[in-house]
């Protein structure tokens, strides 16, 4: 788990980015969710040794980042923070797969190094794109989109509720942690016993809050379903965004499999 307090800050910051105004922000959330999903599947579908053929796909996140004026530093830092797992598992590839796959002049590149590089690129593309998606769409936008795309209403509602109360309960947890550390000397009282009591206290407050929320909902006419705000219409711009980008991904994927291109790239590398 990455730094606890910074997590709340990250959500707030990404939220702020999502409130900006840009051509990408104005697109329909469904278009962005769909395109991102197809993008991730296309990235995953590449051969395990694909390195050069993955590079053209960077165009999509980069264009979005530039168009939406997202801060590179923040995205890069987030990527580095979550990298360890993919890195650790991928790091064994160069050790285990020693077969030569590529000759750069006289320098032999083993399959392991290629697939390790490929894992790093895949990681950057997929995880980076998830962050870009939320930074240009906003979480409520995504919930609305998946509701419209056919996800069960109860689940979309659950996501919206969760999102709404992360801030409230996060603040509460932060106050508790601060209170505990102000009363703790030489790390005393940081053990399991006090922790359990704190957690249970937070849980009770949470449940009480849920009961109040439920009463408030009932008094505002809640009958088991919550109507979600209507989204704007899916315009031709949205359709063009999905069509053009997905066409691009699929073209890159098909061309990467063609023999001539591979020969051409190999020539270029020599």
Partner 1 sequence: MHMADALLSPQVGGVFWVAAAGTIAVCSRKLKSDPDDSRIPLMGVLGAFVFAAQMINFTIPATGSSGHLGGGLLLAALLGPSAAFLTIASVLVVQALFFADGGLLALGCNIFNLGFFPAFLAYPFIFKPLTGTRPSRKRLFWASLLAALVALQLGSLGVVAQTSWSGIAALPFTSFLLVMQPIHLAIGLVEGLVTAVVVGLIWNGQPELLRLSTARSAAPVAGRRKLVVALLSVAVLVGGVFSWYASAQPDGLEWSIQQVTGQEELAHSQPPVHGLLAALQEKLAFLPDYGFADLSEMEDGSLQSRSGTSLSGILGAGLTLLLALLFGLAARKRPHRS
Within positions 209 to 268, which residues make up the interface with partner 1, using CB under 8 A? 209-211, 213-214, 217, 222, 224
Q: Which residues of 147-177 are buried (b: 16+ CB within 10 A; e: fewer)?
A: bbeeeeeeebeebbeebeeeeeebebbeeee
Kindly state the helix (H) or strand (E) to which residue 40 belongs, with its residue range.
Answer: helix 29-44
What is the rounded CA–CA span in Å between residue 253 and residue 50? 11
Q: Which of residues 146-175 bind partner 1 (CB under 8 A)?
A: 151-155, 157-166, 168-170, 172-174
What is the rounded CA–CA span in Å between residue 186 and residue 4? 21
Shortest distance (Å) from residue 17 CB to partner 1: 11
Among 59, 96, 240, 269, binds partner 1 (CB under 8 A): 96
Q: Which stretch binds partner 1 (CB under 8 A): 20-28, 58-66, 124-132, 255-263?
A: 124-132
What is the rounded CA–CA span in Å between residue 269 and residue 105? 8
Q: Which is nearer to partner 1, 27 or 50 (CB)?
A: 50
Among 129, 136, 242, 252, binds partner 1 (CB under 8 A): 129
Among 92, 237, 240, 264, binds partner 1 (CB under 8 A): 92
What is the rounded CA–CA span in Å between residue 201 and residue 222? 29
Shortest distance (Å) from residue 211 CB to partner 1: 7
Q: Which is nearer to partner 1, 163 or 234 (CB)?
A: 163
DSSP label at residue 29:
H
Shortest distance (Å) from residue 4 CB to partner 1: 4
Residue 181 CA to its chain's centroid (Å): 32
What is the rounded CA–CA span in Å between residue 123 and residue 11? 21
Shortest distance (Å) from residue 238 CB to partner 1: 19
Residue 212 CA to its chain's centroid (Å): 32
Shortest distance (Å) from residue 135 CB to partner 1: 10
In this structure, are residues 162 and 142 in contact, taking their beta carbons and an 8 Å threshold? no
Residue 84 CA to its chain's centroid (Å): 16
Q: Which is nearer to partner 1, 109 or 194 (CB)?
A: 194
Q: Which is nearer to partner 1, 69 or 214 (CB)?
A: 214
What is the rounded CA–CA span in Å between residue 86 and residue 116? 10
Q: Which is nearer to partner 1, 217 or 263 (CB)?
A: 217
DSSP label at residue 107:
E
Among 23, 55, 58, 200, binds partner 1 (CB under 8 A): 200
Q: Which residues of 20-32 are buried (b: 16+ CB within 10 A; e: fewer)?
A: eeeebbebbbbbb
Minimal CA–CA distance to 234: which of 34, 64, 70?
34
Q: Which stretch binds partner 1 (CB under 8 A): 8-16, 19-27, 66-74, 254-262?
A: 8-16
Q: Total residues at the site for partner 1 (CB under 8 A)?
A: 93
Among 55, 66, 104, 199, binds partner 1 (CB under 8 A): 199
Shortest distance (Å) from residue 176 CB to partner 1: 6
Shortest distance (Å) from residue 124 CB to partner 1: 8
């Amino acid at each position: 788990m990455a730094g606890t307090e910074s997590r709340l800050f990250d959500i707030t910051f990404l939220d702020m980015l999502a409130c900006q105004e840009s051509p990408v922000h104005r697109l329909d959330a469904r278009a962005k969710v769909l395109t991102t999903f197809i993008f991730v599947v296309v990235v995953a579908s590449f051969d395990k040794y694909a390195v050069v053929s993955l590079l053209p796909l960077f165009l999509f996140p980069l264009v979005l980042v530039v168009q939406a004026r997202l801060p590179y530093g923040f995205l890069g830092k987030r990527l580095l923070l979550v990298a360890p797992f993919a890195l650790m598992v991928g790091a064994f590839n160069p050790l285990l797969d020693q077969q030569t796959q590529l000759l750069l002049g006289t320098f032999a590149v083993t399959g392991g190094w290629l697939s390790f590089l490929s894992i790093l690129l895949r990681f950057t593309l997929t995880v980076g794109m998830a962050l870009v998606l939320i930074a240009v769409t906003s979480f409520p936008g995504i919930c609305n989109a998946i509701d419209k795309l056919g996800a069960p209403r109860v689940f979309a509602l659950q996501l919206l509720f969760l999102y709404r109360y992360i801030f409230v309960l996060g603040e509460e947890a932060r106050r508790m942690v601060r209170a505990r550390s102000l009363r703790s000397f030489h790390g005393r009282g940081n053990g399991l016993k006090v922790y359990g009591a704190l957690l249970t206290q937070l849980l009770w407050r949470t449940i009480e809050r849920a009961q109040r929320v439920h009463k408030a909902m009932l008094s505002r006419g809640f009958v088991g379903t919550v109507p979600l705000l209507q989204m704007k219409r899916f315009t031709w711009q949205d359709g063009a965004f999905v069509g053009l980008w997905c066409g691009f991904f699929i073209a890159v994927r098909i061309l990467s499999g063609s023999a001539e291109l591979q020969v051409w790239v190999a020539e270029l590398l020599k």
